[in-house]
Amino acid sequence: MIVMTTNATELGRTNHWRRNRLLVTLHESNKANARILKRGAQEITSLTCHSLADLRRMGHPYATRAPNPPHEVHLIHSHRGAFLRGWYSRTTRHGDDFVINFGNQQTELLMWLETGTVKMIRRGPMTWIVKEKTPELQLNNRRAYRSALGLHGAAARSRARKYVSGLG
């Protein structure tokens, strides 16, 4: 005969510190993910190899009448820098959920690039960066989750910071 007893109070305490540790680690992981998105967006929107005059001489390669882009369409040439500097990414927590707010302060220009216009083909830099980086972001969160389950208390926070600092 085997008798098993369970202490519900102890089980509750164990799950409480696991939950807190997991929230701390996932928050750090999502902050790192927000930085990855912003850095990726800045990379693909900072081409300087063609000036506006060069693009004009090429016959407006991003025009809808005869598109012939010199690069992949999601790569954007930056000339004034406001669009490049306008990228933001923030992580907020709502209960047990984390939300990454990612975008550009130049909302009208971003909308034109994402959807295209009557005269310009759809470029979709933001759509591309999210699609391209999603596997990396998911992997970071999975690693953070696994890491959090093996840590205790204050060690969770310090190891989470150490782990996240290695992400870039």
* Domain-located, residue 77: yes
CA 12 to CA 15: how far, in whole Å? 5
What does the pLDDT read at residue 69?
Answer: 85
What does the pLDDT read at residue 144?
Answer: 85
What does the pLDDT read at residue 78?
Answer: 77
pLDDT reading at 2 higher than 50: no
* Domain-located, residue 1: no
Mean predicted lDDT score pLDDT of the chain: 81
3-state secondary structure of 81: coil
Number of domains observed in the structure of the chain:
1
* Domain-located, residue 13: no
What does the pLDDT read at residue 135?
Answer: 92
CB-based contacts of 20, cutoff 8 Å, min separation 6 = 156
CA 163 to CA 106: how far, in whole Å? 33
What does the pLDDT read at residue 49?
Answer: 84
- Domain housing 42: 26-165
As a whole number, mean pLDDT of residues 35-50 equals 89
CA 91 to CA 28: how far, in whole Å? 9
Residue in the structure block whose two tokens are 């012939």:
68
